[in-house]
Amino acid sequence: MASNGSSNGSADFDLFRVSEEHDMLRDAVRSLAESKIAPFAAEVDEQARFPQEALDALTANDLHAVHVPEEYGGAGADALATVIVIEEVARVCASSSLIPAVNKLGSLPVVLSGDEALKQKYLAPLAAGDGMFSYCLSEPDAGSDAAGMKTRAVRDGDFWVLNGVKRWITNAGVSEFYTVMAVTDPEKRSKGISAFVVEKGDEGVSFGAPEKKLGIKGSPTREVYLDNVRIPADRIIGAEGTGFATAMKTLDHTRITIAAQALGIAQGALDYAAGYVKERKQFGKAIAEFQGIQFMLADMAMKLEAARQLTYAAAARSQRGDGDLTFFGAAAKCFASDAAMEITTDAVQLLGGYGYTRDYPLERMMRDAKITQIYEGTNQVQRIVMARNLP
C-alpha cells in the first residue's frame, strides 16, 4: 500500500489507500462468505463445532492464510487485504474468521524471525492448506503477565525438550503447527524466553477438553500439554532468548486482525438491525421512522466507521513497519472491540424481544463480540500499551 503520508501521527490523512484490488477482494470474500459460510453459522454456534465448511471454502479460494508471502506459495496479501478477508468472514461468522486470523497469529513469528529453512518448512504447507497454525503464549498463571510463563525448554544436544501447559489456545487440536513460547533461561525473565515450532504429531503433545465459552463456540479453545516433547534444535524461531520480543512484535501486527474481526461482527449486526427496523411496524409505521431509532442507528454507524478508519490506518502502518505501530495496533484493537460490543448490544435492543432469542443472529453476534475485548491482550492492557507508546 503506497502512502505519501508521514507515520508520526501528524495531520496528514493520506495514511492508507483502499485500492480497486482491495474493493474487488472485499466483493469476492463477501460473496463467498454469504454463500458458503453464513448458512452454517447458527449451526456451528449451536453445536459448538468447528466450521469445517468455512475452512474448506476458504482453503479452496486461497483465503485461509492470505498473509503468507508468494515465495512460500502464499497469496502475498498485504496487511489491509488480510484485514478485509477477516472482516468479511466475521460479518457472517466470527468463529470462521479465526481461521485466517489465527493462521496469521501462529505463523507470523516464523515470518518475522525464522530462518529461511524454517520458513520453507512451515509456511509452504500452511499456504497449501495442509495444516493450520496456532499461537501458544498464555498459561494458567501467565495471562496478561506473559513474561511470567513457566513452560520450559531445555537443550539436549541437537534437540530441545519442552515441558509445560499452555492455556486459551485458539484452534488447538485442529491446527497442525504451534508456535510455542518457552523459558530457556529462567534468570533472565523476558529475555530468557525463546520461541519454537511444535507439531501436533510430536510425541508428548496432547490437548485438554474444549472450553465451554460464551461466544466463538465454533473455534475450539483448549489447553496444550507438553510432556517431554523432544524437537530438533533447528525448530527454534530466531536466536535463543528472543522469543518474547518476537511474541510482542507479532501482537503489534495481529491485534489489528482482532480489530478486523470486531469490525465484521459489528457490521453484520448493524446490517441486520437496519434491515429489521425498516420492516418492523408499530403505531402504524416502520419503527425506522422514529427519531429515537434513527439516532441509535446513526451512533452505531458512526462508531463503526471511526473504528474502521483507525483499523485501516493501523493496517497501513503494519504493512510499512512504522515506528508507531505498537500504539496504533493497540488503539485499533481496543477501539474497534469496544465499538463492536456497543453496536451489537444496541442491535439486540433494536429487535426487542426477538433480539434476545436464538431465532435471530444478533444475540450470537453480541456474544461473539465480547471476546474481542479480551484476547490478544485485554483492553485494559491495550490502554497501558497505548499510554506507554503515545505518538
- Rg for the chain (alpha carbons), in Å? 21
The interaxial angle of helices 94-113 and 52-60, nearest 10 deg, is: 50
- Give Cα separations from 119 to 99, 105, 112 (angstroms): 20, 15, 10
Largest CA distance in the chain: 80
Locate the DSSP E strands across 242-347. Answer: 281-282, 285-286
Residues 6+ apart with CB under 8 A from 36: 53, 54, 57
Fill in the amino acid letter for 378. T
Q: Residue 376 catalytic?
A: yes
A 10 A CB-CB count for 228 gives 10
Q: Which positions ≥6 away from 214 have C-beta within 8 Å?
A: 367, 370, 371
117 with 72: CB under 8 angstroms? no
**Which one, of 156, 230, 229, 146, lies nearest residue 189 by Cα?**
146
Beta bridge partners of 286: 281
The one-letter amino acid code at 209 reads A
Q: All 3 cell numbers of residue 247?
A: 511474541
Indicate which residues carry an active-site annotation.
Answer: 376
